[in-house]
Amino acid sequence: MLLAIALAALSLVYMYVLSYPLPVSAPYVEIVGTLERDNIVLTHQGGDGIHLETEVLITIGGTRQNTTVGNQLDSESRNDGFWSIGERLMYPVGDVTGIKVEVSVTDEESDSLLFNGWLKGTFSDTFEFFVEIGKEGNMIRIPGTLNIIVVYTDNSNDGWVKTIELAPDGGITAILDSLEFDPNFCNDPNLIHVSGSIYTICYRGPGSDGTLKTVQIAANGSINDTIQDNLVFDSDDCFNPDIIHISGNVYAVCYRGGDEDGFLKTIEILPDGDITAVQDTLEFDTDRAIAPNICHITGDIYAIVYSGEDDDCFLATVEIAANGAITDPVIDTLEFDTNNGKDPDMVHVSGDIYAIAYEGQGQDGYLKTVEIEVNGDINNTVIESTMFDGDKGTEPDIIHVSGSIFAIAYSGAGDAGNVRTAMIANDGSIVDPTVDAFEFSAHGESPQIIRISSGYYAISYRGTGNEGFLTTVHIANNGEFF
């Protein structure tokens, strides 16, 4: 009797469980989305066949459009009732330049997301942060946040600082705050974080004087209306200043000074924003030094790249002690382009290897690698040289992305804003000068690129009427744009 009862109970449980449908497993599929000739193209690259009723959601600039796989496949691809390997789904959208395009593919039967992402060749977001003149912009990210600080010159050559809010997905939300930090004159502004909420702006001020000002900017983007402190560190001339932190309260500024010579000065800036007198000075090039860019090598060793005599490109190494003392003379120099070179920018690759992007002869974009030893000695032979853009590559800005991948933002043919990725090996060999390329604006001069979060980068640039723009792009670790 007990056995019969147990069997009956088991039968009831069995029938109860079977009365519910078993969960449907999600299909496995590999989909790649691109934008081709005003069409969204989704390519089935591997995995299971997908039912024609599968839902496709397309979001263009915040506007959603629903369709199905079957509606977008051609008649031949629909014959077998599935979206299969090698078949392409096409959806016409027209010109979506500068508009964020997102696509998702959902299998309703298994309630699973098969594909979701922005399409390669579209922006994350674009924002005009100053509608009149926003030239000579420079930006950094507020530490620990996604908020951006931008300094720039307006149509009256006044100096402005603004804070802009960004979202984790690269969206640009709004202007948070702004301050006119110099109502008289400001050119070539450069920005650096000092400590906590204190930031220093270095620029060419009234009378072309080299000027420093400290401002207070909270993590939420709020800017204090009172300038913390200011200092004229060169009352003669100061063009294209570039500021870098040395150690503790010591900072160094390199710039083009009187008679176009290259100058380097160290200055003490306290954590509360107080600026003391100049610590030391070195004239690192007595002939010419246009648009110098300073980079830390190791310890007390620093390198400066610049356009020198006859517009050739030069590299010099100097020694700056933690207390701001600058050793005279320079350690070593290298004329790494004897034909022509403007607006060079340098980045560390690995070990003693560094990469320099610059505008070369004929306005072509050049990329070269050099070796700088820890004592400042420069190998007299360029490791490798290549053109990253044979049409035009002016005002390049290069940063590290991941591994051997680097990104270069620059003004290309027709002054279009371009960004491309390159692969540079640890030994300095340039494996691929163009892993991928993307035109982020039909007009983009003086671009600067910075990392804002994993895979997302912000680019500030100058538009057709000198308007200030900020755009965000997505770069994968392998160098591809999405």
pLDDT digits (tens), the chain, 482 positions: 666 565 555 555 555 544 555 555 778 888 888 777 788 889 998 889 999 999 999 988 778 999 999 999 998 999 999 999 999 999 998 877 657 788 899 998 888 888 877 666 565 666 665 544 467 789 999 999 999 999 999 888 999 999 999 888 788 888 999 999 999 999 999 999 999 999 999 999 999 999 999 999 999 999 999 999 999 999 999 999 999 999 999 999 999 999 999 999 999 999 999 999 899 999 999 999 999 999 999 999 999 999 999 999 999 999 999 999 999 999 999 999 999 999 999 999 999 999 999 999 999 999 999 999 999 999 999 999 999 999 999 999 999 999 999 999 999 999 999 999 999 999 999 999 999 999 888 899 999 999 998 888 999 999 888 888 898 888 989 998 87
> At 204, is the secondary structure helix, strand, or coil?
strand
CA distance 30 to 15: 38
- Residues paired with 415 in a beta bridge: none
DSSP letter (8 states) at residue 132: S
256, 287 contact by CB (below 8 A): no
The CATH H-level (homologous superfamily) assignment of domain 346-482 is YVTN repeat-like/Quinoprotein amine dehydrogenase (2.130.10.10)
Which DSSP category does 220 fall into? T
Place of tokens 């494996």: 431
Structure tokens at 180: 């006119």
Grouping H, G, I as helix, E, B as strand and the rest as coil, residue 388 is strand
Count CA within 13 A, CB hemisphere, residue 130. Answer: 30
φ, ψ dihedrals at 362, nearest 5°? 70, 20
Residues of the chain within CATH 2.60.40 domain(s) are 29-118
Predicted local distance difference test score (pLDDT) of residue 131: 47
Q: Could you say which of 2.60.40, 2.40.50, 3.40.50, 1.10.287 is the CATH number of the domain covering 29-118? A: 2.60.40
Tokens of 15: 């029938």
Q: Is the peptide bond before 27 cis (omega within 30 degrees of 0)?
A: no
pTM recorded for the entire structure:
0.81
In angstroms, the CA 174 to CA 329 distance is 48
CATH 2.130.10.10 range(s) for the chain read: 346-482
Task: Name 112's Cβ contacts closer than 8 Å, sequence gap at least 6.
Answer: 26, 27, 106
Residue pair 359/342 in contact (Cβ under 8 Å)? The answer is: yes
For 266-311, give the secondary structure using H, E and C.
EEEECCCCCEEEEEEEEEEECCCCEEEEEEEEECCEEEEEEECHHH
Contact between residue 221 and residue 177 where contact means Cβ atoms under 8 Å apart: yes
| SS3 track for 6-36 | HHHHHHHHHHHHHCCCCCCCCCCEEEEEEEE
Residues 347 and 62: their CA atoms lie apart, in Å, by 37
The DSSP output letter for 384 is E
Question: Do residues 113 and 105 touch, judged by C-beta distance below 8 A?
Answer: yes
Cα 482 to Cα 124: distance, rounded to the nearest angstrom: 9
Q: 197 by DSSP, 3-state: which?
A: coil
- At residue 227, the pLDDT reads 97
DSSP state of 84: -
DSSP character at residue 73: S
Spatial neighbors of 71 by CB under 8 A, at least 6 apart, are none
